[in-house]
Every structure is written in C-alpha cells, then in structure tokens.
Structure 1
C-alpha cells in the first residue's frame, strides 16, 4: 500500500471514532424542574404594568445641549495652528 492511502485510512478512522456517542436525543438530563408559587394571572398582571411604565428610549441616546461659549471658532483654530508652528503642540508622527 501507498503511504498516502495509509495516512488517509488512519485519518478517516480517527474522525469516525469520535463521532458516534450514545446519548439521549432529547437532552432530558439537562432539564430544570421547578414549581412556581405565583399564579398565571399574577404574572400576567405584573407583565402588563411593566410594559406601561417602561421607557422605549434607548439608554444614552439623548444628545447633550451645546454649551454656550464666548470664544470664536476662527480665533481658536488660529491659536491652535500657531501653537503647532511654535512646537508647543506635537503633530503628525511626532505626537506619538
């Protein structure tokens, strides 16, 4: 026999041997069994009150109002550009 066919047979045997395992098909060993103390009507009443009081707005979706400022945008940009030119603020690859 050829070496390739021996390796192929060994690989196939290893793959098939790990596939077949006997177990229950329904997985009943993992089922959680419990008994509730509340009635169905109590649960339904609580569910109705939760939906009435719940907000549909996602958390953190509100945008903060813009802050009032006395500075002009053009002046701030000019000052930043001057600071970069004078080397007070690193820019580009030098900022690392």
Structure 2
C-alpha cells in the first residue's frame, strides 16, 4: 500500500508540473506578455488625433454645438420638472 501511495503522489506531482509548464506556455502563446514585446512606431499625439477624427463615426455620437445661455430661470426649470414628473413624462428605471 505504501508503494501505491508513493506512486499516486508522484503522479500528481508530475501532472502538476506539466500543468504549470503548459500554463506558462499558454500565456506566452496567446499574448499574456504582448505589450512587452511591441515597439511603438507612432507618436501618441498622432494616435490621439486619429482617434479624435474617428470619434464622430461612432454609434450614438452627438456633436455638441456651442450652446446659448438659457432664457429660463432655475425656478422655471424646476417647475417644469415637477409638472413633467407628475404627468409621468420623465423616464425612470430601465426605460431611460
């Protein structure tokens, strides 16, 4: 029985070592250390400018125009909000 127990412990240790080696190879194979091996060829300002130029083409993007000052007072806006909330016109929860 001691030989069986010794053999099973040796088998478990062997499988664990194979798994550890496979895990490290897996990480290297699928890019776990990708950023350490890449040398950038473009300036960060160039990449940011390209991203800013591509941003309007994204889904649901709204270009904000320069807004004009509101003609309503804070009290007027608050009164409209109360009226809309009482009428059920303000979406809440998952509907918003």
TM-score if structure 1 supplies the norm length?
0.36
Larger helix proportion of the pair: 2
Q: Structure 2-normalised TM-score?
A: 0.36
* Largest Rg, 1 or 2: 1
